[in-house]
Amino acid sequence: MRRKYALWLLFVILFLASFDMHAQMPLLSPFIEELGAPALLIGLLLSAYSFTNLIGNLTAGPIIDRYNKKGFISAGLMISGILLMLHGIIDSSTQLLGIRLTYGYVMAFVSPACFAVLASSADTIDEQNKIFVQKGIILTFASILSPAVGGFLAGRFGFANSFVILGWVMLITGLIALLFLPKHSGEGRKVTPEEYLFKADVDEQKQDHQNNQTQKKTVKATLHVIFGSVGMYPAFFSAFAIMYAQGTMMYEVPLLIARQHLDPTVTGMVFSMMGLGSLLTLSLAQIQRKSPVVRCLFGLSILSAMFYVTAMNWNVSIYWMMFLVGGAFGLLFPAMTTILTSYSPRHLYGTAFSFYSAIMSAGAILSPIVAGMYDNISRSFFTGFLVLMTASVCCILFQDKKWQAVSPVRR
């Protein structure tokens, strides 16, 4: 009962935090342009969050694994709320750069901590997959509602005041986590790596564990565990590609709508269509039971097709395009988290999700900068198409066919 309470409370916290993050999607590019920033600087400012988020992800993993995760979740959300409020009082792109850099680093500790707690709440791969699908559905509801709300706030109160309102939401979410989330280290007990690895690797991992217990505590050994299994690579390649795609859309779509002098609520509705697409695929349980690598390939193929269509300037409704993009995201995110939790030892969940988040940040850093350099929607989307196709090929090359767990995770 206590575990279920903590799980559903964490879902509520994730919903509110995700709501706040997605509500910013229709706001950022026009807000930065309103401050007088040129195209390349818009890309750099959009990348600033992801740049420090990447640095934070690389340093957060071992710290999150060592200490209680509740503190990282609650403190990170409250500090982020204050930083969002500061968006509303600045008057230059230089000030915004400093805020976005700090904001990205703080949030780097929140997501891996949440994911590690979620992953540790299950006893088997099937339970973990179920939890991450539930998480995906909840976050998808947030992604459906929040862009429309963000667009409404911008149209009603302006961009600056909208960030102040979103800051209060984030701050209150952090207070909820501090007051009501049970103290949860996310570890249970220290488990051995062989408890959750694959049949082909058990003997080797067992021998390594017996002979090198102290060595496994080193950074080198940790990197070997995380990156030594090619079965994780489809998740890493997919993570980079979809965040590159999302970064391109976050740059291009709001500016395209703003330059057509349409109301900000239109931008919000467009991004809400992406959430509806995600909800559809997440609700199809039969699809979610397929191999996670197959789901990654299918999702990347849909994204590639949509980016190619946009790059070629074919006459396709932007609402339908974003709906299909969202459907692809609904396939990809649960599949990637299933791959990670299946190949990672439980005591390294925080580190694994930190590297995963860092790779996602790398894609989110690069794409707005490239889009700002091009300042051309067709070239930006064609580059995104090439990135997505490359990730698809890598998923095929590095997939592990022995996708079967040895045994449930024991507590």
Rg (CA), the chain: 21
pLDDT classification of 401: cutoffs 50, 70, 90: low
pLDDT at residue 143 is higher than 60: yes
pLDDT classification of 411: cutoffs 50, 70, 90: very low
Predicted confidence at residue 224, as pLDDT, reads: 67
Please, are residues 117 and 233 in contact by the beta-carbon 8 Å criterion?
A: no
Please state the rounded mean pLDDT for residues 167-195.
69
How many angstroms separate the CA atoms of 327 and 313, rounded? Answer: 21
Q: Which stretch of 202-216, 339-353, 358-372 has the lowest confidence by average pLDDT? A: 202-216
pLDDT classification of 408: cutoffs 50, 70, 90: very low
Q: Which fold has domain 2-186+210-398?
A: Growth Hormone; Chain: A; (1.20.1250)
Q: What is the pLDDT of residues 233-256, one digit of tens each?
A: 888 899 999 999 998 998 888 887
Please, are residues 192 and 396 in contact by the beta-carbon 8 Å criterion?
A: no
Of 348 and 97, more confident: 97
Q: What is the pLDDT of residues 257-313, one digit of tens each?
A: 877 777 778 888 888 888 888 888 877 877 767 788 888 999 999 999 999 998 998
Please state the rounded mean pLDDT for residues 317-328.
90
Question: SS in 3 state form for the chain?
Answer: CHHHHHHHHHHHHHHHHHHHHHHCCCCHHHHHHHCCCCHHHHHHHHHHHHHHHHHHHHHHHHHHHHCCHHHHHHHHHHHHHHHHHHHCCCCCHHHHHHHHHHHHHHHCCHHHHHHHHHHCCCCCHHHHHHHHHHHHHHHHHHHHHHHHHHHHHHHHHCHHHHHHHHHHHHHHHHHHHHHHCCCCCCCCCCCCHHHHCEHHHHHHHHHHHHHCCCHHHCHHHHHHHHHCCHHHHHHHHHHHHHHHHHHHHHHHHHHHHHHCCCCHHHHHHHHHHHHHHHHHHHHCHHHHCCCHHHHHHHHHHHHHHHHHHHHCCCCCCHHHHHHHHHHHHHHHHHHHHHHHHHHCCHHHHHHHHHHHHHHHHHHHHHHHHHHHHHCCHHHHHHHHHHHHHHHHHHHHHHCCCCCCECCCCCC
On the CB side of 213, CA atoms within 13 Å amount to 4
pLDDT at residue 187 is higher than 60: no
Of 136 and 324, more confident: 324
pLDDT classification of 3: cutoffs 50, 70, 90: low
Predicted confidence at residue 380, as pLDDT, reads: 92
Predicted confidence at residue 226, as pLDDT, reads: 66
Structure tokens given for 289: 């039971």
Q: What is the pLDDT of residues 99-109, one digit of tens each?
A: 999 998 998 88
Task: Compute CA 232 distance to the chain's CA centroid, rounded to the nearest angstrom.
Answer: 16
Q: Which stretch of 186-190, 294-298, 346-350 has the lowest confidence by average pLDDT? A: 186-190
Predicted confidence at residue 197, as pLDDT, reads: 44
Q: Where are the domains of the chain?
A: 2-186+210-398
